[in-house]
Amino acid sequence: MAIELSAVRYRYAGASRPALQSVDLRLDPGRVLGVAGANESGKTTLCLVAGGFAPGVVGGRLEGSARIDGAETTSIPAHALALHCGLLFQNPATQLSNTTATVFEEVGFGPCNLGLAVSEVIERVWWALKTVGIEDLAPRDPARLSGGQGQLVALASVLALRPRYLILDEPTSELDPAGTALVGEALARVAAETGAGILLVEHKTEVLARIADEVVVLREGSVALAGPAAAVLADSILAELGVEPPARVALERDVRAAGLDWPAALAEGIG
């Protein structure tokens, strides 16, 4: 039971170069895998391929094997993909269905599409709202929320389908620090309470430092670095790969570079 990418090579329809050159990756349920990398390094493509949306929804050519719980993603019909992997993107506004008047109905959009019984839909909606922590937003108009709230609603809408894996493509990139904090906390809660496997692409390595178990760094469509989060984020090669390390790591590096000690107590305190 995992998402497994083996020797995956992928090219978009109408593109001249492959976006992913050769990627091996594994995401287990209950684990949080962070993905970092410079722009155009293939992070978004990785999300689409891991979730089965590429080539399923966006076309293109996939070589190698991308499997979700043992089944090749190409063999899963498009509408069933959402049941395995919930996908979240950067812009909260474009993830709204634009057909609902309240957050409650918006979160229920997915379960309603599946044709579930009304009682089941209600139960799933409340569960999703509770897990993400936004029950008080239920009566609000989804079009009138802040960016952070919008992303939380998107997260709840996707959770309502009870997927085993969650794939998030830079969910905080368009949010201010308050929104980022909201989403980060919600993700931590989701990871803890639902046992879902989470693939989190993030530019803000702080978020990765907080909740990721392992981190993978991409460069030009292939994996340049992989390993436990703490180790990867402290690796000095990050800057070359176009990734800014978390503030704590940078601070520690500067302190040591100035010849001072980095006392263990401080390390634990900032942690």
Partner 1 sequence: MDLLRRWVARQFTTRVIVLMPVAIAINIVLGATIQQALKLPIYLDSIGTILVGVLAGPLAGALTGILANLIWGYLLPAPVGSSTIGPFAITAGVIGLLAGIWGQLGLFRPRRTGAVNVIGAVVAVVLVGALAVYTYARAYASPEAFNNNVSGNSAITIDQSKVFFLVVMLVYVVLVAWAIFLRRNVGAVYAIGAGLVTGIAAAVVSAPIAAVVYGGVTGSGTDALVAAFRAGGDSLYQATLKQGLLSDPMDKMITSFVVFFIIGSLSRRFIARFPNGERALGDEAEAGAPAASES
Partner 2 sequence: MASSAPGAGLPEYVTRRAGGFYRSANPSTKLAIAALEVVAAFVVPGWPGPLLVLGAVLATAAAARRLRGLGVIALAASPIVGSILLVNLFLLPGASDPIARFGPLAPTWSGLWFGLQTAARLFAFSAAIALVYLTTAVDDLLADLARRGLGRRAIFVVGAAVQMVPRTIERAGEIVDAQRARGMDTEGRFWQRARGIVPLAAPVVFGALTEVEERTMALDARAFSAPGRQTLLRVPADRAPDRVLRWAAVLAVVAIVGLRVAGRLG
Binding site for partner 2 (CB under 8 A): 48, 51, 53, 57-58, 78-83, 86-89, 91, 94-99, 101-102, 104-105, 108-118, 121-123, 126, 130, 135, 138-139, 143, 154, 157-158, 161
Contacts for 231 with CB less than 8 Å, ≥ 6 apart: none
Q: Under the criterion CB under 8 A, does residue 78 sit at the interface with partner 1?
A: yes
Q: Which is nearer to partner 2, 25 or 81 (CB)?
A: 81
Question: Any contact of residue 12 with partner 1 (CB under 8 A)?
Answer: yes
33: left (phi over 0), alpha (psi -120 to 50) or beta: beta
The dihedral built from the CA positions of residue 62, 201, 29 and 27, taken in this order, carries a sign that is: positive
Q: Which does 87 bind (CB under 5 to 8 A by kind): partner 2, partner 1, none?
A: partner 2
Measured from the CB atom, is 13 or 237 closer to partner 1? 13
256/69 Cα distance (integer angstroms): 45
CB of 79 vs partner 2, minimal distance in Å: 4
DSSP state for residue 98 in the 8-state scheme: S
Q: Which of residues 94-133 bind partner 1 (CB under 8 A)?
A: 98
Residues between 28 and 67 that touch partner 1 (CB under 8 A): 57-59
Alpha-carbon gap, residue 270 to 264, rounded angstroms: 10
Task: Decide whether 75 or 98 has the Cβ nearer to partner 1.
Answer: 98
CB of 101 to partner 1, least distance (A): 16
- Element holding 37 (H helix, E strand): strand 32-37
- Rounded Cα–Cα distance for residues 228 and 212 (Å): 8
- What amino acid occupies position 88? L
Beta bridge partners of 86: 166
Query: Which of 88/186 has CB closer to partner 2?
Result: 88
Where on the chain is the footprint of partner 1 (CB under 8 A)?
12-15, 57-59, 78, 98
